[in-house]
């Protein structure tokens, strides 16, 4: 079992946290916003495969 990575907050508004299946909808939406040439379904499938 992997240890949970620590939450990173640099004090400048950047917050990095572990992505889980609970964040899949938000992560898929972010990926689609960054790379709109891929469909939302493609981004969701790719993100889910990484988790």
Question: pLDDT means per 10 residues in the chain (51 residues)?
Answer: 61 78 92 95 94 88
Total tally of structural domains belonging to the chain: 1
Any domain includes 12? yes
Any domain includes 26? yes
Per-residue model confidence (pLDDT) at position 35: 96
Any domain includes 1? no
Where in the sequence is the domain holding 39, given as residue range(s)? 8-50
Any domain includes 3? no
Q: Which of 35, 5, 31, 2 is nearest to 47 (CA)?
A: 31
Residues 6+ apart with CB under 8 A from 12: none
């Amino acid at each position: 079992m992997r240890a949970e990575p620590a939450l990173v907050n640099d004090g400048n508004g950047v917050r990095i946290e572990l992505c889980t299946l609970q964040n899949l909808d938000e992560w898929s939406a972010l990926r689609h916003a960054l790379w709109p040439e891929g469909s939302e379904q493609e981004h969701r499938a790719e993100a889910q495969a990484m988790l």
